[in-house]
Structure 1
Amino acid sequence: MKKTNRIVEKFKEYRFLYVFLYAILAVVIFVALYSNVKPETLDIELFTVSDETIYAPATVEDKVETERKRQEAYDSVEDQYVLKKEITEKQVDLISSIFDTVIEVRKEEAANSDSAKPTVEEQVEKVQEKLTPSINKKIPGETFLPLLETTDDEVVLAKDAVVTVVNNVMSKEIPIVQLTEAKKQVEEELQYTSMRTEIMDSAIFLARFAITPNYVFDLTATEEQRQLAIDGVKEAQIKQGQILVEENELINREIYRKLGLVGLLDDQQSMKPFLGLGIFVLLIISGVVYFFEKKDSPISKKNNFLLLYCLIFAITILLMKIISLFQKIDYTHIGYIVPVAMGVMLVKLLLNERLAIWTSMIFAVCGSVIFNEGVTGSFNFSVGIYYLFGCLAAVLFLGEHNLRSKILQAGLFVAGVNILALTAIMLIRNGGYSNVEISSYFIMACVSGLVSSVLTIGFMPFFETGFGILSTMKLIELSNPNHPLLRKILTETPGTYHHSVMVANLSESACEAIGANGLLARVAAYYHDIGKTKRPRYFIENQMNIENPHNKLSAQLSKNIIIAHVTDGVEMLRKHKMPKEFIDIAEQHHGTTLLKYFYHQAKQSNDSIYEDEFRYPGPKPQTKEIAIISIADSVEAAVRSMANPSPEKIEKLVRSIISDRLQDHQLDECDITLKELDIIAKSFCESLKGIFHSRIEYPELTKKQKVK
């Protein structure tokens, strides 16, 4: 058995072990959640009838549908047209210039002599020469004959009439499809003017020629409107929980396409959920690594605590996974019965409260994934919230009560919080629940809390013994005066008991001042001198009204008796299976200090005596708590022996003892600093001043007062 324990202890010191444990923890989480994040696939063929109603497991974008809607929006935008006023102005100028050309030719003809007067046909040719070929192609020469043969007043009248009518008609929108109507309109309006028929015909022809579409297609505006229509189309989505196909419905191409889009077909295997799970596991492990690695603890202690944490975590996750199997038989809400608070209670009691809070959040998220059967999506947020409140309730309750008897009360408290959390969830959902459903929910909530406390009580002794964990609860139990060893000290060595209590008070306040474990120092100090119970009368604090037996013994023999109380105490503590920390404190609290009184006594009779013969065997203090108890042990004994202790004398004595320990190299093997030693000295002085404070000296009563 001892050989096995040595192998286990040696294994805990391996540096690679904590890396291996982190990897194991990551694998446990990944494997536990793998089946719950694995996408569900269906064996479905095109143009077959569905056996069940199929819902979308997640929200995804339907790009094909989105593109179709955008195309519809694009096509629905009509062509945009704009009224071009410059076209109207251009056509008015054009018709004016035509008339001006006619008038100009007429003036030239009037300026010529009668002998050289050109014919009308020649005048038409001159008009056409002054006009552009494109206009000449569209306006025949006959149109100008009536204008050239008439008087100047009629030409001006015709010009004004045509320009006015063209300007009026083209001031309105004239799309190409209404061009004929516009030309007809100018013809109708010219009919009301007082022009001769021949002039009227030419005027109508020129007016109809001038009318052209001024309401034209605007490409830029059209494209802007189409882009606005496209931007206004929201992306088409297949919503989570949306029905993709009803039971007994034919699976057509569109339905088949949507099934493939959400990843429900066998021929599609997405790696996204597994990648997401890997990142999720990495986040969890990062939090755990941060907690364990930020503490400057020995490798063996770190490995021991990490191994314990991994075991508690694995047990809790395994319970979740086993209970989740009942979801397959329509117990979709079975997750409410999981005693998940057990895990965080064990972590809080055996390891650390902050780690327990972080673990509460981890269990909440893991539980929401494991119990996602019957809900759309990968997370069952109701279970996650339920677990979070229950776990935090357990941590907060135990934060104030560290007695083992309070664990069952913590379970009842968790059950009450579970019921409140479930009530809130049901009310927020605003669903219709039958009395049977409500009763079953509340029963599961109560069972979860109570079973958590029962399992915690059951696992605690195994973990404390197997991992050598000295929990706060264990320390409080060991501080009970009814403990057999404490009763032995109290009844057999009352002086030593009082001394141990004083050392405990000094040690606890000093430890808390520098951030060490004050409770460990207090309780361990009660037991540090248990070895004195073997020979109680050989220690000065127990010599009441008796002669000092050392007066009849040699210095060598007295030294052996005094030193023996250390080994005797270690034996007694091991026999009663006390924590290793207590054994270390009993063994190291004297370090290798010198028994000065008996050394000088022996030196007087024999000069060949060496100091090493009168030193404790050690080892020297290895931790801050042991160093503080060691100094407090000497300080308490020295101050108690002072005749009239004053604050100045006490401080001088305390600092002298600490300086002596430093010069004797008794504190070389623990990681205590000079700054911390100064804080310890101040703490000791404050505590001792409160104990050995000055009192009022009452005057003696006179005889008369005594008689009275």
Structure 2
Amino acid sequence: MDLLRHQFQNIKRLLDITFFRILFFAFIGVILFLSMYGNVKPDKLKLGLFNIAEKTVVSPITVEDKESTEEKRKHELERVQGVYTLKSEYTQNQVDLVASIFDTAIKVSDEIQEEKKKAAPEGESSEPAPAATEPPVSDKVKKLKERLTPAVIDDLPEEVFTALVSADKRQLAIAKDLTLTAVSNEMSKPIPADEVENSKKKVEEELKFSTLGPSMKRAAILMRRYAVIQNEFYDPQATEEARRRTAETVEPVKILEGQVIVEEGELVSHEIYRQLKLAGLLDSQDSKKPLFGLLLLIVIILSSIYYYFLERKIQPDKKQTDLLLFGIVFSFSILLMKMASQFQQFGFEGVSSLFPAAMAGIIIKILVDERLAWLTAIVQGICGSIIFNEETTGALNMSAGIYILCGGLAATLFLRDHNARSKILPAGIFVSVVNISVIFSLLFLRNTQYNGMEYGLIFIFAAVSGIASAVLAIGLLPFLEASFGILSTMRLIELSNPNHPLLKKILTEAPGTYHHSVMVANMSEAACEAIGANGLLARVGCYYHDIGKTKRPLFFIENQINRDNPHDRLSPGKSAQIIIAHASDGAALLKKHHMPKEIIDIAEQHHGTSLIKFFYHKAKQAGNVNEEDFRYPGPKAQTKETAIIGIADSVEAAVRSMAQPTPEQIESLVHSIISDKLQDGQLNECDLTLREIEVVEHTLCETLKGIFHSRIEYPTEMTKQKVVDA
């Protein structure tokens, strides 16, 4: 184990160099690539045109069949008929034209009658002039044509004009009404070019039973035929718009993921061969897209992890430890996932539910950080969806990915406020419940049909996955903690056990020191928690910080109950060296017992380079002395926890030496000790702020007031009687 720890230390030192850190991430990337490439690499099909398929082939992707889509679009466009627009204004135009012709004929008839009246002799009756005086028809026709347009004259036959000028006003009025009504009714309907003649015949039929004379009836018919024209015309723009809308409504023809392209034993026709090629199954051995896609995904995953560690504000040594630990746990989890996926080749369905998805999350949550555990669960889910894709037709098995993701998140969520080793197994049981719920919800969503035995097997796999995650985590934690020298919360709780050999050693060999350590632990824990530092580390560190005093317990005043002080027989210099040695002796003893580095640092640094004032001033009275001989060798406190322990250690010893201290005396003493340490530079190398020091001072005062509160003094006789009664 020592050799392994030494190797890890060497690797950690290399990770402090950017080049080797990138190389480490590249190594993780290689593991990811080798684990997943076989699952995304397309199968090579040996299928040729007009060959018989040796197995059923399904499409691995959803892809649009553009050729079939285009054929479908052409077919739909062929069914689109031309759009014709009804020119409603044509109806009114033709009605107005016919009406104007009749009105002109009536006006000409009125003018002729007026001229006849003027030509008749005065005194004679107003009866019409004899026929001999009637103007010739040709003159009437000429007069009528003078009032009409050349187009009308050219389009209407001569007999129409003759009939119009020959008819009386009553006949003209009747013919006008019949003609206008028929034209208006017929022209209000769409009349395309090929229906014009039919429309003309319809208006012609309506006059067969009219009371008009033969010539007028014939003229009215010709007028109707003349007035009825095409009023519905082809609209190219509207037709094109209709074609466009039809083309947009055509749904693309797709080859769906999982769709059977060719059945086993079926002949590969031209159409099937085209679909195989379209789905990328014929040239898959030359496709670089899956390779590029996988590399891009791995780069994204590693970049997110690298960024997380880059932005994490912790000491470099701790950061490298966490990075190496994460790399080992994550790589082990991916390799375990790949090993489990191999059972899919034997038709072993549901093997993804057996994978201990929560193992990595539990370990990383306890040993590193909760946020990294969340990130690990997400990355595991992504990788799992690819590695366990044998049961699906595509590159991703979303069910497996969701299952693994939920398992990892459930473990981290359960352990959010718990870090004790005893909570790992309950966390595993909780993960089992979550696994069962998730797997059955996914099965029901997919409407998967399984029999009772298959459902039972899936239930067992999901339950075993959670328990196995907890068991593996419990088994790996001691190994990882010992190999990396990690001081986890669980490890701290174990070290705080009074049955620990070193704590027993302090209790039996230096009971006063043990009591002093417990007092300092209470004070330090409260002060650390008040500023957000690690209170548990401070408490456990206090239990061991004076372990070096067990080498010469009687040379320390707290262990000199009813005993002579051996320092009375020693020189100040010799006494100072014995007192100073307890820090280095404690660190050596802790190293011998392979205690965590943080505990060793507390024992070695809690006095920093402070001066042993009592013996220094005593020696100074005897003559000139070197102050450095009466100072601890250090180093000074490097962390908040160590600095607070050093303050609490001095404060507790000083207050304990006072007889019935008052709250004011306690506050004054604590402030004096802290000010002295600040002036002496003992807090210069830790990251305690002045604001935090003020909070620490207040917390220590409140704790000491609770410990050294005033007590009732009993009368002497009453006290003696109580002792006798006891």
TM over 0.5: yes
Aligned match of 2:127: none
Instruction: Determine the C-alpha separation between the residues in 2 that align with 1:337 and 1:155.
Output: 102
Correspondent of 2:560 among 543, 550, 555: 543
From the superposition, tell whether residues 173 and 240 of structure 1 become closer, same or farther in structure 2 (CA, over 3 Å). Answer: same
Cα distance change of structure 1 residues 235 and 638 upon mapping to structure 2, 3 Å threshold: same
Tell me if structure 1 keeps the 8 A contact 2:12–2:324. Answer: no
1:645 aligns with 2:648: no
Q: Within 2, Cα distance between the matches of 1:292 and 1:662?
A: 34
Q: CA deviation at 1:367?
A: 1.2
Name the aligned partner's letter for residue 61 of structure 1: E
In the alignment, which residue of structure 2 is the partner of 1:180? 197
State the secondary structure of the residue aligned to 1:244: strand
**Aligned pair partner of 2:53 in 50, 54, 64:** 50
CA pair 250-101 structure 1, distance change in 2 beyond 3 A: farther
2:363 aligned with 1:346, yes or no?
yes
- Gap runs ≥5 in structure 2: 120-130
Letter in 1 for 2:496: S
Mapped to 2, the partners of 1:629 and 1:339 lie a distance apart of 41
Who is 2:533 aligned against?
516
Q: Shift in Å at residue 7 of structure 1?
A: 4.8
Distance 2:446 2:90 in 1: 68
Matched with 1:560 is 577
Identity of aligned residues (%): 52
Segments of structure 1 that go 5 or more residues without pairing to the other structure are none
1:574 maps to which residue?
A: 591
Alignment-derived partner of residue 40 in structure 2 = 37
Match of 1:661 in 2: 677
Alignment partners' CA distance in 2, 1:581 and 1:216: 95
Residue 83 of structure 2 contacts residue 234 of structure 2 at CA under 8 Å; is this kept in 1?
yes
Q: Which amino acid aligns with 1:345?
A: I
Q: Could you say what the CA RMSD is over the residues aligned between the two structures, in angstroms?
A: 3.2
* Counterpart position of 2:694: 678
Question: Are 1:477 and 2:494 counterparts?
Answer: yes
- Residues 1:325 and 1:624: Cα distance change in structure 2 (over 3 Å): same
In 1, distance between residues paired with 2:625 and 2:275? 97
CA distance in 2, matches of 1:705, 1:692: 26
Amino acid at match of 2:346: I
**Distance in 2 between the 1:173 and 1:557 partners?**
126
Contact kept? 1:521, 1:629, Cα under 8 Å: yes
Other structure's SS at 1:671 match:
coil
Tell whether 2:73 aligns with 1:99: no
Amino acid at match of 1:60: V
The letter of the residue matching 2:97 is L
What number of residue pairs does the alignment pair up?
A: 707
1:629 aligns with 2:645: yes
Contact 1:128–1:141 (CA under 8 A) maintained in structure 2: no
Aligned counterparts of 1:253 and 1:150: Cα–Cα separation in 2: 80
Deviation (angstroms), 1:369: 1.9
Deviation for aligned residue 1:565 = 1.2
* 1:144 counterpart SS class: helix
Give the superposition deviation at 1:490: 0.5
**CA deviation vs aligned residue, 1:653-687 (integer Å, no higher than 9, x gap):** 11111110111111111222111111111121121
Q: Deviations over 1:310-330 (max 9, x none)?
A: 111011001111221222221
Cross-structure match for 2:321? 304
Matches of 1:260 and 1:244, distance apart in 2? 11
Structure 2 CA distance for partners of 1:692 and 1:705, relative to 1, 3 Å: closer
Q: Match for residue 451 of structure 1?
A: 468
- Structure 1 residue 433 corresponds to structure 2 residue 450: yes
CA contact (8 A) 1:332 1:373 kept: no
Structure 1 Cα separation of the partners of residues 719 and 409 of structure 2:
70
1:631–1:658 CA contact under 8 A, matched in 2: yes
Deviations 1:364-392 (A, max 9, x none): 22212210112133332332233233323
Indicate whether 1:391 and 2:408 are aligned.
Answer: yes
Q: 1:469 to 1:207 in 2, by over 3 A?
A: same
Among candidates 502, 508, 512, match of residue 491 of structure 1? 508
Cα gap change, 1:696 to 1:230, in 2 (>3 Å): farther
User: In 2, distance between residues paired with 1:80 and 1:167?
Assistant: 24
Any conservation in 2 of the 1:503–1:525 contact (CA below 8 Å)?
yes
> Secondary structure, in 3 states, of the residue corresponding to 1:93?
helix
Q: CA deviation at 1:109?
A: 5.7
> What is the aligned counterpart of 1:468 among 456, 469, 485?
485
In 2 relative to 1, CA 125–265 (structure 1 residues): closer, same or farther, beyond 3 Å? Answer: farther
1:256-290, Cα deviation, whole Å (9 max, x unpaired): 33333333331686665555545544553354345
Spell out, residue by residue over 1:617-644, the C-alpha distance to the aligned partner (whole angstroms, 9 max, x if none): 1111111111111111111111111112
Give the Å deviation of 1:249.
3.1
Task: Give per-residue Cα distances to partners, 1:491-522, cap 9 Å, x unaligned.
Answer: 00000011111111111121222222221111
Task: Give CA deviations for 1:319-364 in whole Å, capped at 9, x if unaligned.
Answer: 1112212222212322222223221222122112232232122212
Measured in 2, the distance between the counterparts of 1:15 and 1:181 equals: 93
C-alpha contact 2:43 2:285 (8 A) present in aligned 1: no
The alignment partner of 1:190 has SS state of: coil
User: Mean Cα displacement is larger for which, 590-599 or 232-241?
Assistant: 232-241
State the alpha-carbon separation in 2 of the partners of residues 4 and 163 from structure 1.
112
Per-residue CA deviation, residues 464-505 of structure 1 (Å, 9 max, x unaligned), is 232221111111111111111111101000000111111111
In the TM superposition, residue 427 of structure 1 has moved relative to its aligned partner by: 4.5
Deviation by residue 1:568-595 (Cα, 9 ceiling, x = unmatched): 1122111111111122111111111111
Once residues 6 and 290 of structure 1 are traced to their aligned partners in structure 2, the CA distance between those partners, rounded to angstroms, is 23
Please give the alpha-carbon distance, in whole angstroms, between the structure 2 residues aligned to 1:164 and 1:703: 136
Query: CA 1:108–1:704 in structure 2 vs 1: closer, same or farther (change >3 Å)?
Result: closer
Q: What is the aligned partner in structure 2 of residue 59 from structure 1?
A: 62
One-letter amino acid of the structure 2 residue matched with residue 504 of structure 1: A
Deviates more, 1:128-137 or 1:103-112: 103-112
Structure 1 residues 647 and 283, CA gap change in structure 2 (3 angstroms)? farther
Q: Distance in 1 between matches of 2:393 and 2:320?
A: 41
Counterpart Cα distance in 1 of 2:64 and 2:478: 55
Tell me the distance in 1 between the aligned counterparts of 2:50 and 2:12. Answer: 66
Separation of aligned partners in 1, 2:191 and 2:416: 87
Q: Kindly indicate whether the alpha-carbon contact (under 8 Å) linking 2:57 and 2:263 is maintained by their aligned counterparts in 1.
A: yes
**1:43–1:266 CA contact under 8 A, matched in 2:** no
Cα distance change of structure 1 residues 470 and 103 upon mapping to structure 2, 3 Å threshold: same
Alpha carbons 1:15, 1:299 under 8 Å: kept: no
Task: Provide, for residues 529-581 of structure 1, a one-character-per-residue CA deviation record: whole Å limited to 9, x for no partner.
Answer: 11111111111000011111111111111111111112211221111111111
Residue 122 of structure 2 corresponds to which residue in structure 1?
none
Decide which moves more: 515-524 or 37-46.
37-46
Cα distance in structure 2, aligned partners of 1:412 and 1:159: 101
* Structure-1 separation of matches of 2:141 and 2:68: 67
Greater shift, 237-246 or 662-671, is seen at 237-246
- Counterparts of 1:187 and 1:566, CA distance in 2: 129
The one-letter code matched in structure 1 to 2:330 is F
Alpha carbons of 1:687 and 1:293: their partners in 2 closer, same or farther (altered >3 Å)?
Answer: farther
Secondary structure class of the residue paired with 2:206: helix
